Structure 1
Amino acid sequence: MKIHKEGRRILFFTLLALLAVNLLLFRLNAQNDTFNKIFAGASAVAFLLLLQFFRSPFRNLLTHEDLIVAPADGKVVVIEDVHEPEYFDDVRKQISIFMSPINVHITRNPISGIVRYFKYHPGNYLVAWHPKSSTKNERTTVVVQSEAGPFVLFRQIAGAMARRIVWYVNEGDEVSQGEEFGFIKFGSRVDVFVPVDTEIRVQIGEKVKGGETIIAQLKTETPSLF
Structure 2
Amino acid sequence: MRLPRRFPLLAALAAGVWYLRSVYRFRDPVRLPATQDAGAVLSPADGLVSFVRRIENGGVEGLKVAELLGTTQREGWLLGLHVGPLDVHFTYAPAQGTVLNAGHKPGQSLGVPLTDAAQMLLGRPADLLESDALARNERYSYAVQRPDGQTLTVGLVGLERGLQATTYLSEGQSVRQGNKAAFLAEGGLVLLALPASLTPQVSVGEHVRGAETVVAR
Greater displacement, 178-187 / 208-217: 178-187
Higher RCO, 1 vs 2 (CA within 8 Å, ≥6 residues apart): 2
The TM-score normalised by the length of structure 2 is 0.77
Gaps of 5+ in 1: 1-30, 218-226
| Aligned residue number for residue 173 of structure 2 | 173
- Distance (Å, rounded) in 1 between the aligned partners of 2:2 and 2:106: 47
| Aligned residue number for residue 84 of structure 2 | 100
Residue 48 of structure 1 pairs with residue 32 of structure 2: no
Encode CA deviations 1:11-69: one digit per residue, 9 max, x unaligned: xxxxxxxxxxxxxxxxxxxx565587666544422222222222222223236432110
Residue 205 of structure 1 pairs with residue 205 of structure 2: yes
On the 8 A contact 1:66/1:147 being kept in 2, the answer is no
On the 8 A contact 1:68/1:216 being kept in 2, the answer is yes
1:97 corresponds to which letter in structure 2? L
Distance 1:138 1:64, change over 3 A: farther
On the 8 A contact 2:145/2:151 being kept in 1, the answer is yes
SS in 2 for 1:182: strand
SS in 2 for 1:200: coil
Structure 1 vs Structure 2: percent identity of aligned residues? 25
On the 8 A contact 2:157/2:163 being kept in 1, the answer is no
CA RMSD of superposed structures (Å): 2.1
Encode CA deviations 1:142-179: one digit per residue, 9 max, x unaligned: 01111232011011111124441121111100011111
| Aligned residue number for residue 95 of structure 2 | 111
Residue 73 of structure 1 pairs with residue 46 of structure 2: yes
Q: Alignment length, in residue pairs?
A: 187
Greater displacement, 141-150 / 36-45: 36-45
Greater displacement, 62-71 / 169-178: 62-71
* Greater Rg over alpha carbons, structure: 1
- Distance (Å, rounded) in 1 between the aligned partners of 2:39 and 2:78: 17
1:170 corresponds to which letter in structure 2? S
Greater displacement, 31-40 / 151-160: 31-40
Shift of 1:100: 1.4
- Distance (Å, rounded) in 2 between the aligned partners of 1:93 and 1:163: 23
Gaps of 5+ in 2: 60-64, 113-127
| Aligned residue number for residue 194 of structure 1 | 194
The TM-score normalised by the length of structure 1 is 0.74
- Distance (Å, rounded) in 1 between the aligned partners of 2:90 and 2:13: 27
Encode CA deviations 1:62-114: one digit per residue, 9 max, x unaligned: 36432110011111111111322222152331011111111111100001100
- Distance (Å, rounded) in 2 between the aligned partners of 1:166 and 1:92: 28
Distance 1:132 1:147, change over 3 A: farther
Distance 1:89 1:38, change over 3 A: closer
Residue 58 of structure 1 pairs with residue 42 of structure 2: no
On the 8 A contact 2:137/2:162 being kept in 1, the answer is no
